[in-house]
Amino acid sequence: MTHELIFTLLYSLAFAAILLTGEVLHGVLKVRTELTRKFSHSAASLLTLTFPLVYNSYAYVVVMGSVFFLILAIAERRKLLQSINDVDRKSYGGVLLPVAITTSFVISVLMDSTRLFIIPILILAISDSLAGILGMAYGHKTKKIRLFNFQLNKTYLGSGIFFITAFLGSMQALHWLYGNYSYFNLTMALSVAATTALMEALSSKGLDNITVPLTAILVLLMF
């Protein structure tokens, strides 16, 4: 049994434990679904940041991502996993998360560039969740974004937090990867933060779980 297979089994157990923890928080402790969704989203995303340290290829990640995509799709259809699916609005965010993580990892392996995985997933794990939580908590007190003649269902507060955390996270990731805070890295981080914040504001129904990381990857490929 290879070490990659062993880690795949351990990762699968860890992801299952995250989902189970969310169910306990929601079903037993009565934590709001929006918060348990963000918990599962962030915890799972942060855990995957260790993938580059474990996997030399993407085969096991594709298999694991496909399995969890099917589990989450079935759970949504049959109204299971209430810590994720007990919401009135239509959202594809839950089933898109394993797709986003898998796609980002495959691209990073094919392009031989760890930053193409670390930065997009870090933004998903931290920026997206913080923007959502603060938007829910204080959205009624702040103005929603108006772009030309279109009223978006996102607040200036949420998008501002998204931009700031995406910039800081990208800068720190680039420093960790390359060992400096150069002007080049600063420009890269600002570009990623600005474009992903805009894409997050424009996306609805949980589609930002796929549009945000893909936007980050496209911008990073320009540098």
- The pLDDT-based confidence of 94 (bands split at 50, 70, 90) is confident
Q: State which residues form the domain around 167.
A: 3-221
pLDDT at residue 76 above 80?
yes
Taking the CA atoms of 204, 195, 154 and 152 in sequence, report the sign of the dihedral they define: negative
What phi and psi values does residue 131 have, to the nearest 5 degrees? -60, -40
pTM of the model: 0.92
Residues 165-216 have pLDDT tens digits of 999 999 999 999 888 888 999 999 999 999 999 999 888 787 889 999 999 9
% of the chain at pLDDT higher than 90: 61
> Which among 80-84, 123-127, 140-144 has the top mean pLDDT?
123-127
E runs forming strands in 126-207: 144-147, 150-155
Taking the CA atoms of 107, 131, 21 and 97 in sequence, report the sign of the dihedral they define: negative
% of the chain at pLDDT higher than 70: 91
Number of structural domains the chain divides into: 1
DSSP H or E segment with residue 117: helix 115-122
Which pair of structure tokens corresponds to residue 131? 């923007």
Residue 103 CA to residue 105 CA, distance in Å, equals 5
Longest dimension (CA), the chain: 59
DSSP 57: S
Pairing of strands 150-155, 144-147: antiparallel
Average pLDDT of the chain is 88
Between 53 and 140, name the one with better pLDDT.
53
Q: How many CA atoms lie within 13 A of 212 on its CB side?
A: 34
> Which among 28-32, 91-95, 169-173 has the top mean pLDDT?
169-173
Which pair of structure tokens corresponds to residue 90? 């239509």
Residue 211 CA to residue 104 CA, distance in Å, equals 11
The answer to whether 81 and 21 are in contact (CB under 8 A) is no
**110-118: average pLDDT:** 96
- Tokens 């969704």 -> residue: 37
pLDDT at residue 59 above 90?
yes
Residue 190 CA to residue 130 CA, distance in Å, equals 18
Instruction: Please state which of the ranges 26-30, 102-106, 189-193 shows the lowest mean pLDDT.
Output: 26-30
Q: Which residues contact 172 (CB under 8 A, 6 or more apart)?
A: none
